[in-house]
Amino acid sequence: MQGSVHKETIGTGDNPCRSVTPEEVAYYQEFGWVKLKGFVRAERVKLILKAALQRMGEDADSNAIIEIIGPGVEKKIAYFNAEYGGGLENPPVRSLIEHVGKNAKALMGRSKPVGVRYFSDFYAPKLPSSKQAKHGGNGPTSFHQDFINFSVDRSGGMTFWLSLEDYGPEFGTMSFVNGSHRLGVLGNYRTYENGEDLLDIYPNLRNEQKISEPMSYAAGDVTVHSHMTVHGAGANLTPRPRWAYLMLVQPVDACWTGAPAEAFDCAGMQISKPLPEDRFPTLAY
């Protein structure tokens, strides 16, 4: 079932995506991730893929190499070629991001509901492992948590991972460690030695937790995972890129810890204060 508990295949009406169901909310809260089948309307998926191809080329490796990609995106990642999306400046994509915020509020399920703010959006193609890549981005994804990158003081953040084409496990799709969002912060993957990842540092993740099978996606499918959920992926074993578009959100009350952040510029931010509204606008109240 791979976390999918919904039977619809497309969004309806003028909405860029459908709404999450109570069953999907329950699954996410139990396992720390959920697959949303047919979440984004086909026309919106095609628009995002077209923009990605224009920015990055058919090979997903022809974008410029720059020092700062954008808020929420490291400049060079071994397991995909990140390119800032700028979706808030693109009305059809902003509409999708705003609807993602509303759905994220439902998934978050705080007993005292809080709003959701935008954190980042970016293209994340995984490049073929058989080819040289000037940006990197053609390796497997070590099992890790996202939370350690963000220098925020509380959990609740999540990533909506949108598949822009149909992909199976041979493209290096993700697996998730069920229930790992409840295990606390398990360390920065850059501190592990000898090529180890979280499954090596914490063997109980293999022995006591069930790891999902690598995902199979149709274009428009989304997986949502908590920034505390351990996840990873194999290499892309095909000759073409695996195109994905990521939309990240945080609870509106998340505050900057004061630590230097790997994922965004902290200039002008205040310790123990919420992320500034002008850079991280509220999507749902």
The rounded average pLDDT for each run of 10 residues, N- to C-terminus, in the chain (285 residues) is 45 78 98 98 98 97 70 67 94 97 96 94 97 92 94 97 98 97 91 87 90 98 98 97 98 95 83 96 96
How many structural domains is the chain composed of? Answer: 1
The pLDDT assigned to 189 comes to: 79
CA separation for the pair 160, 44 (Å, rounded): 15
Residues forming a β-bridge with 152: 256
- Helix axis angle for 91-108 and 22-31, nearest 10°, is 70
Sign of the CA dihedral running 4, 124, 131, 79: negative
Q: Is 16 contained in some domain? A: no
> Of 162, 150, 146, 153, whose CA–CA distance to 224 is shortest?
162
> Of 6, 4, 22, 29, whose CA–CA distance to 158 is shortest?
29
Q: Is 6 contained in some domain? A: no
The pLDDT assigned to 42 comes to: 98
Our measurement of the distance from residue 224's CA atom to the centroid of its chain's CA atoms, rounded to an integer in Å, reads 7
Angle value at C-alpha 85, between 84 and 91, nearest 5 degrees:
150
Q: Is 45 contained in some domain? A: yes
The pLDDT assigned to 4 comes to: 52
Q: Is 11 contained in some domain? A: no
The pLDDT assigned to 46 comes to: 98
The pLDDT assigned to 182 comes to: 96
Q: Is 172 contained in some domain? A: yes
Full residue range of the structural domain in which residue 274 is found: 22-284
Q: What is the model's pTM? A: 0.92
The pLDDT assigned to 65 comes to: 73
Total residues found in the chain within this entry: 285
Q: Is 15 contained in some domain? A: no
For residue 137, give Cα distances in angstroms to 28, 45, 106.
28, 22, 32
The pLDDT assigned to 208 comes to: 79
CATH number, domain of 72, equals: 2.60.120.620
CA separation for the pair 248, 227 (Å, rounded): 9
Q: Is 29 contained in some domain? A: yes
